[in-house]
Structure 1
């Protein structure tokens, strides 16, 4: 595919100047828009995406300084390079142009090779800044996902694990285990293995039953690992791992299937919306589907089978 040509907005009320610049930029394949006043330039910017502005200083009505100041008030136009064109060889005026928000200036009468060189330089710089910004955003998103994955490694989506020392102190627990403790023993003492779990293989509470699978580590510091399994538990995120997803992606997909938005999922899972956006992007790619609706359909097929 051919690259999209750059769009340059030329703002000048002098036809002779316009003709030279239009012919020069047009001959290089650039797309050129023309405005004969500052007001018209602002109207065009609202309607058309622009990559660079060549702006005359001396114009009736809104002069170049006022036009530049108005452009810089808009966040959407903040990164558009503005090059002033001025017939006044006054250092103070050039300083004012830069302070107003311009990136460069060209003396009139314009010298075509100089105009072309400066325009190309600032277009290249803008493209490089955009590429760098996109790379930084991708890197930030990847880092957020990796940090989130590391946290989830300790929190283990589909395993409710408790590790207690010989005195009954909990030295480790997954989030799933903590949730089950709060559900079945809401009054249990935080940081301690519930006495009810001391030797039982099954614990029945008011809201259901837990199976307790016990593993003991024989070492200098005796540790007991309890794997909690809720009897007749409703279908949940763990069942979606079979779709080839990571535990965290399965958790995100589960809430998508429940009709939650990315912002809501971020709140539920205690992470940032950007991290959830990245997880959604990755799980859609892994599932080979184009949108959330198709992903939710796949998830519901699995969850329905488990429930049935």
Structure 2
């Protein structure tokens, strides 16, 4: 029995028959769960999105929106797609049980409901879901965000809080509220899937730039098949952002440059021409040229190649982990 109410897991029971709710509610409450209830599909979707339960017990046959549709919508929403769903059904025909699993359920129990059986099934699936959730949020804690993408239709099945912030910055706010993967990321994934599937070759990273910030995408692994919580077409992608603001500051200190001169030298190291640097910094190529002349004087060099070489040597000495 669970005793710590502050950390007690939350379960959402969805059933249009109050008597069914009462039986389960009492058994789960006595076992230390925080119990949420919904009498119809629309209420279930709202409660799940707001309360983020650890597991959902879902009646398959309900008037209006049935349990199969509720499950499909929960799985289509990145905010609730990770929640395990156990179907409660009086239907034992194989086609109905297959439909329950196809809609996103991880398991099912048959009516009349036996509370002890439900509790045992819940423990199994909640433990697996908790481990997955903890590992994903651990990535965030160390600066590695993660997303799960369904390659077939491009749906964004899961994103950690850090991933949501990064996608908003690099691809715009609306993309983070939709369930669709940003187009460049999906194109990269689909391009390299044949090699990943057939040859188990890790594809080259996708790198997206935003000023001095870079976001890299690495294909981590294919999901599904082991715990039945994801389809085999779902792929876990790990994201890592690198900001070179500290490098720009180091350039300024090392060579006694102004902040703008350090930015210009940074982009020279990156191989950008004056026109590109001007576009990035919001300046004209002529202004960039004047900054370069002052940089050459301070570094005691005459060409951008020499300036880049000197700066690279200093950066690698100060930041051994840094790569262009």
> What TM-score does the superposition give when structure 2 sets the normalisation length?
0.47
Point out the structure with max Rg over C-alpha.
1
Structure 1-normalised TM-score? 0.49
